[in-house]
Amino acid sequence: MAGSNGKANGKKKIGVLALQGDFREHVQILKKLGVEPVEVRKPEDLEGLAGIIVPGGESTTIGRMMASSGLLDAIRSFFYQGGAVWGTCAGMILAASATTGPPQPLLGLMNALVERNGFGRQVFSFERDLDVQGFEKPFTGVFIRAPFFEDVGPGVEVLSEIDGRVVAARGENILVTAFHPELTDDLRFHEYFLKEVCGI
């Protein structure tokens, strides 16, 4: 699946999980960056992609929809075959290996314990300028019912924290952010995912 380098007619292809949540914003940004976005709704949509973005939304709902559609196992296979994954907000929850909340379907791609709604309910949404490893200037994080990693294991590189709470991290072919870069005009996280994680 991931072996084709995600290129069709010379154009890079990145998937966006399009079952629920704010996938359209990611699609628009990918277009701006000259990438061909593919809305992923079934396992065969992963064919030929260099990477996939799992967007914000309701993590339990997305997890159940992925399980019923076969995408939970398909995305795991895609990842373990070398495909890149980026989880934002709900996608960060789904990427984790364990959660402090009630049981729910998880992809389990990153060795981390996630605290769902770690910063409170939607009424406590906020923006924060973040120091991000590798970024010369702060990045404005938009946090909406945001999670955080309470603990991370070996192989996880922390990219940004708030008061000791991990809000951005990466592994060899995975990136997670507790916030929503797609809701800003700052394209640096999308560029980072394409270059540093997807390698395209």
Tens digit of pLDDT for each residue in 24-52?
A: 999 999 999 999 999 999 999 999 999 99
For residue 198, indicate whether it is catalytic: no
The pLDDT of residue 5 is above 70 = no
The count of other CB atoms within 10 Å of the CB of residue 104 is 16
User: What is residue 32's predicted lDDT score, i.e. its pLDDT?
Assistant: 96
pLDDT tens for 50-68 read 999 999 999 999 999 999 9
- Which member of 25, 26, 115, 182 is catalytic? 182
By CB atoms closer than 10 A (0-12, 13-18, 19+), residue 50 is buried
Strands (E), 11-164: 11-17, 36-40, 51-54, 84-88, 96-99, 110-115, 126-130, 139-143, 148-152, 157-162
For residue 182, indicate whether it is catalytic: yes
- Which member of 89, 115, 190, 198 is catalytic? 89
- Which member of 25, 26, 115, 180 is catalytic? 180
User: What is residue 117's predicted lDDT score, i.e. its pLDDT?
Assistant: 77
pLDDT tens for 141-182 read 999 989 999 999 999 999 999 999 999 999 999 999 999 999
| Contact predicate 113/98, CB 8 Å | yes
Q: The domain 2-197 belongs to what CATH superfamily?
A: Class I glutamine amidotransferase (GATase) domain (3.40.50.880)
For residue 26, indicate whether it is catalytic: no
pLDDT tens for 188-197 read 999 999 999 9
User: What is residue 152's predicted lDDT score, i.e. its pLDDT?
Assistant: 95
Among 170, 164, 161, CA closest to 192:
170
- 69: tokens are 């559609």
What does pTM read for this prediction? Answer: 0.92
Q: Where are the domains of the chain?
A: 2-197
User: What is residue 123's predicted lDDT score, i.e. its pLDDT?
Assistant: 54
